[in-house]
Structure 1
Amino acid sequence: MTHTRRLAAIVAAILVVAVMGGYAVGTAAALGDASLPGSVRADDIDDLGDEIDGYQDQIDQTQAERDAAQRRADELSHALENTDARIVEADAKLRDLNEQLPALQEALEIANQKVEAAVVQQGIVADKLAAAEAQDQAISDQIAADEERTADLEALVAAIARETYKGDDATASLDIVFGATDARSFVDEYTAQQSASRVQSNTLAELDEIAAVNRNRGTRQEAVREYIAELKIEADALVVELEGLRDIAQEKKDDVQALLDRQEELRQYLESQRATFLAQQEENERLQQQLRNRVLDLVQKKADSEEALKAAREAAAQQGGKLNDGYLSFPTKVPYKTSSFGMRVHPIYGYARLHAGTDLRAYCGTPIYASASGTVQWATWQAGYGNQVLIDHGYVGGKSLITNYNHLSRFAVSSGQTVARGDLVGYSGNTGSSTACHLHFEVYVNGNVVDPESLLPSFP
């Protein structure tokens, strides 16, 4: 708008000249002297009017194109900002999931180890239980065999007792003596009776021994069965514990799988946005450059006029100086660089682009100052840059110098305003494609972006 007003001023000056020229022509004709100085012909005035109309058409067309480009840039900037926010959010979530994954995998591994340990312990208890039950069965078998042996021995004792005690002892003894037909018969009968007595005695002793052994076996079997009962309780508890551990392990596995699924979902989303995002970035940068170029074209058209060029040269001659380190002042009171001019790699998609300025730490609302004296070309919203102040510092050492101040929260100057070095131009913010409050400071020499540090003092 400033350039339009300046062109309008030039046109107005031409009109004044034309009107004054027409007045001079009229006066000269009235006096009958057509050769008076400053007189012009009617044809010259018509030609000048046509030229003025042509300038106005160019101005109107340029203004319309600028407005349309600004609208498209604003729309694209808003769309890009929303897309970028979603992409950044998705990438942040993906990074967070990447950090969570090792812990979840470790928890799953621990849960699986506990399951495996419980399975091993369950196997050990099962083996102990099988051995104890086998021991119990063996004891039962031994007791059953002894009971059968005891029955046989008791039957033998009963038989001996019946034979031995058919009569009383005295009668039995007399029968042996008087019933014997000879000495040999006596000895055999007596020997048989003594053998039966010994068998009976031995059988009774064996019965006593079996009874004692079985009593010990019964005690041992009772202890074995108590042990079996304990093992069964432990085995039942292990079944419950193992089921719980398996449930926990499954939950951990589900957690890991859900995280992996979410990771894949985010990766697919980020990949699906790659082409669109890069295309939007390129279009946004193109519109920004186009807008700058058109504005600079307007400035150049003004500079092409003889009077404007003469004034610029005179101003440059008076101003003098050279563009070198320290010519510009820091735009913040406490300069602290957070990012330098140069190529920057996108942290998500990895593409390289030019970071066309120097970023300075400037917390939200920090005052921002003019780096040199000049004229505010505009203080307005620019696509990607947010609220921007652009200052034309004229010519220094015969070179055009322009600075701009970006992502401002609000302005302290307006278009067309003259500012001195160190004057307040606005306050830092987070507008445009910025992700945090800071100042993005750019410098143009002869319309080309340069490293601001080449004209700033050394950072403290």
Structure 2
Amino acid sequence: MVGVTALLALGMLGLVPVAQADNASDKAAALQQQAALEQQANEVQSSLEFVDAGIAKSAADLVTFQGQLPGAQTALSQAEGRVSVATGEVNSLTARIDLAQQSKDKITAQIATDATKTTETKAMIGQIAAQSYKAGGLPVNLTLILGADSPNDLANSIDLAEQAMRSQTAALEALTAQKATNENAQVRLAAVEAEIKDLKLQAEVALAAEQSARDAAATQKAKVDKLISDSAVLNAQLEAEKPRIQTKLKEVQGEKDAVAFQISEIQRKEREAAEAAARAEAARLAKIEEDRRVEAARVAYDQEQQRLAREKAAADAQANLGGGASTPYEPEPFVPPVYVPPAYVPPAPGNPSAFGLQHPFAGNIPITSGFGWRQTPAGTIDFNGTGSYLHSGIDFGATCGTPVYAPADGVVQIAGQTNVVYGGGNVLYISHGVVQGNALMTVFYHNSSVIVSAGQSVTQGQLVAYSGNTGNSTGCHAHFETWLNGSPVDPMGLL
């Protein structure tokens, strides 16, 4: 069964963007969004797989591209933002390095100046010491021994010595202060040099981050450009294919209706035959019951006649004793009751679970597209004008060559390649008969091979086919349908 009224997704609106994730919760949300987008693409593809495999693939790709575009554009914007931040960081570090270098140059110049001052101060101290010695800067008793000419010479000598000592002391104090200043400058210089080294390392890291951000932005920009370009190409291709697809969709819809009628007729006849058999069985049982009732009535009648005969004989015997005459007993003939067959009332259909349908695959095969009516999204082309389409089965993501097993006992109706359904490839229809008033048929499409034949009886769990990619299929998968009383129903409600 095609299971589509068909939809071609062009210019999808409201698609789920795939966002970039920086933390665990964002990544989980991104994975959910990606899964939703993939599901959306699978549903669009499954809606067109019986029309044209290439068109179905293009439509699904368009949905994917357009769904990814908002996320890619957001990622590009974020990447460009990171480039801006990294560039600002590099510029800030460069400015800080310049300031630190200026401070280093200033301190270095100051240290050189202070070194000159220190040398000059040391020279001055040497000169003061020499002058002090010449001026008598020695102890008074030693001066006298050496021979001062007069008291005035001695006073002058002492005065000059005191002045020299004060100058020398002041020079020594200045030298000590200069030394402390020089040591402090050296510490500051070492700190500035360490800062410059650290800033240069930070600048290298920032430059690498900036280049990485620029590369990421360039990659993201290329991705955005490609998504836009690919979407435009696919959109143009699908727009050009509209007239042909519209014509094909009418054909597919006709085939869908024909197959639905065929299945409906098969199941109608099965249910009628089952009801006729049930009616005949009910009539047979009713006749048996009626015959039993008539026989019981006959036995009761005979017993009653025997009783009446005995009573008549006793009455006659009494009459003979009195000299009267006796008359023979004449029983009434037995008239059986008229048989009226009861009206047959078919029972209400039971629960379809009575078929005991089992999964057609041994493993846990994921569902890529579920069963049900889907509303046509805004911005799409609804080729049938209904506003919605029915995916009348389930697509399982089975790899090619996956064994397919009969879900229940039944009889094969159609097997192998057929023109009953365009694009179905190797098909398999199994009728599971009527159980509790319900008729059930299971249908498989796109099989790589079918190993049973039409008219063959199969048992539950029997290998009947291998999944594949035949017909208008865009990849290995299994399209599985369940038809109950002439209408498709969700297989998951029966499995």
TM-score by length of 2: 0.49
Does 2:296 align with 1:259? Answer: no
For residues 353-392 of structure 1, the aligned pairs below 5 Å read 353-355=388-390, 357-359=392-394, 364-368=402-406, 380-381=418-419, 382-388=421-427
User: Which whole-Å deviations, capped at 9, do the CAs of 1:79-106 have from their partners, x for residues lacking one?
Assistant: 8202322443565577678888988988
> Does the 8 Å contact 2:411/2:457 carry over to 1?
yes
> Does the 8 Å contact 2:415/2:426 carry over to 1?
no
The alignment partner of 2:227 has SS state of helix
User: Partners of 2:246 and 2:425 in 1: how far apart?
Assistant: 17
User: Partners of 2:488 and 2:145 in 1: how far apart?
Assistant: 143
Equivalence for 2:300: none
Equivalence for 2:478: 438
CA gap of 1:152–1:341, structure 2 versus 1, over 3 A, is closer
Equivalence for 2:166: 202
CA gap of 1:432–1:361, structure 2 versus 1, over 3 A, is same
> Does the 8 Å contact 2:413/2:455 carry over to 1?
yes
Equivalence for 1:80: 52
Cα displacement (A) at 1:199: 1.8
CA gap of 1:340–1:421, structure 2 versus 1, over 3 A, is farther
> Does the 8 Å contact 2:65/2:231 carry over to 1?
no
> Does the 8 Å contact 2:104/2:192 carry over to 1?
yes
Which residue identity is paired with 2:374? R
User: Partners of 2:447 and 2:423 in 1: how far apart?
Assistant: 12
CA gap of 1:348–1:272, structure 2 versus 1, over 3 A, is farther
User: Partners of 1:162 and 1:332 in 2: how far apart?
Assistant: 128
> Does the 8 Å contact 1:77/1:383 carry over to 2?
no
User: Which whole-Å deviations, capped at 9, do the CAs of 1:355-408 have from their partners, x for residues lacking one?
Assistant: 263438696441458997797699604323333457999xxxxxx999865434
The alignment partner of 2:52 has SS state of helix
Which residue identity is paired with 2:219? D
> Does the 8 Å contact 1:129/1:231 carry over to 2?
no
> Does the 8 Å contact 2:125/2:172 carry over to 1?
no
What is the CA RMSD across the aligned residues, in angstroms? 6.1
> Does the 8 Å contact 1:115/1:246 carry over to 2?
yes
- How many percent identity over aligned positions? 12
CA gap of 1:265–1:374, structure 2 versus 1, over 3 A, is closer
User: Partners of 1:288 and 1:277 in 2: how far apart?
Assistant: 16
> Does the 8 Å contact 1:129/1:232 carry over to 2?
yes
The alignment partner of 1:383 has SS state of coil
> Does the 8 Å contact 1:379/1:387 carry over to 2?
yes
For residues 407-422 of structure 1, the aligned pairs below 5 Å read 407-411=446-450
> Does the 8 Å contact 2:121/2:175 carry over to 1?
no
User: Partners of 2:441 and 2:200 in 1: how far apart?
Assistant: 84
User: Which whole-Å deviations, capped at 9, do the CAs of 1:294-344 have from their partners, x for residues lacking one?
Assistant: 89999xxxx9xxxxxxx99x9899568889566899696547996776422
Equivalence for 2:338: none
User: Partners of 2:202 and 2:396 in 1: how far apart?
Assistant: 62
Which residue identity is paired with 2:446? H
The alignment partner of 1:384 has SS state of coil
User: Partners of 1:243 and 1:326 in 2: how far apart?
Assistant: 71
Equivalence for 1:246: 210
CA gap of 1:419–1:292, structure 2 versus 1, over 3 A, is farther
Which residue identity is paired with 1:441? E
CA gap of 1:345–1:283, structure 2 versus 1, over 3 A, is farther
CA gap of 1:403–1:281, structure 2 versus 1, over 3 A, is farther
Equivalence for 1:289: 253
Unaligned 5+ segments in structure 2 are 1-47, 138-142, 280-345, 433-438
Q: Which stretch of structure 1 is more off in the superposition, 251-260 or 222-231? A: 222-231
TM-score by length of 1: 0.51
Which residue identity is paired with 1:250? R
CA gap of 1:279–1:426, structure 2 versus 1, over 3 A, is farther
Unaligned 5+ segments in structure 1 are 1-75, 178-185, 304-310, 394-399
User: Which whole-Å deviations, capped at 9, do the CAs of 1:197-254 have from their partners, x for residues lacking one?
Assistant: 3222222333333444444444444445544554454455444444333322322322
User: Partners of 2:183 and 2:261 in 1: how far apart?
Assistant: 113
CA gap of 1:205–1:317, structure 2 versus 1, over 3 A, is closer
> Does the 8 Å contact 2:427/2:445 carry over to 1?
yes
> Does the 8 Å contact 2:59/2:238 carry over to 1?
no
Which residue identity is paired with 1:252? A
Which residue identity is paired with 1:355? L
Which residue identity is paired with 2:426? N
For residues 263-412 of structure 1, the aligned pairs below 5 Å read 263-276=227-240, 281-291=245-255, 333-334=358-359, 342-345=372-375, 353-355=388-390, 357-359=392-394, 364-368=402-406, 380-381=418-419, 382-388=421-427, 406-411=445-450
Which residue identity is paired with 1:380? T
User: Which whole-Å deviations, capped at 9, do the CAs of 1:45-89 have from their partners, x for residues lacking one?
Assistant: xxxxxxxxxxxxxxxxxxxxxxxxxxxxxxx97982023224435
> Does the 8 Å contact 1:370/1:425 carry over to 2?
no
> Does the 8 Å contact 1:369/1:425 carry over to 2?
no
CA gap of 1:97–1:133, structure 2 versus 1, over 3 A, is same
User: Partners of 1:237 and 1:157 in 2: how far apart?
Assistant: 52
> Does the 8 Å contact 1:407/1:428 carry over to 2?
no
The alignment partner of 2:418 has SS state of strand
> Does the 8 Å contact 2:425/2:447 carry over to 1?
yes
Does 2:494 align with 1:459? Answer: yes
User: Partners of 2:238 and 2:356 in 1: how far apart?
Assistant: 36
> Does the 8 Å contact 2:353/2:494 carry over to 1?
no
Does 2:174 align with 1:137? Answer: no
Q: Which stretch of structure 1 is more off in the superposition, 198-207 or 271-280? A: 271-280
User: Partners of 1:227 and 1:392 in 2: how far apart?
Assistant: 90
User: Partners of 2:62 and 2:444 in 1: how far apart?
Assistant: 30
User: Partners of 1:252 and 1:356 in 2: how far apart?
Assistant: 41
The alignment partner of 1:366 has SS state of strand
CA gap of 1:353–1:426, structure 2 versus 1, over 3 A, is farther
CA gap of 1:245–1:172, structure 2 versus 1, over 3 A, is farther
> Does the 8 Å contact 1:365/1:409 carry over to 2?
no
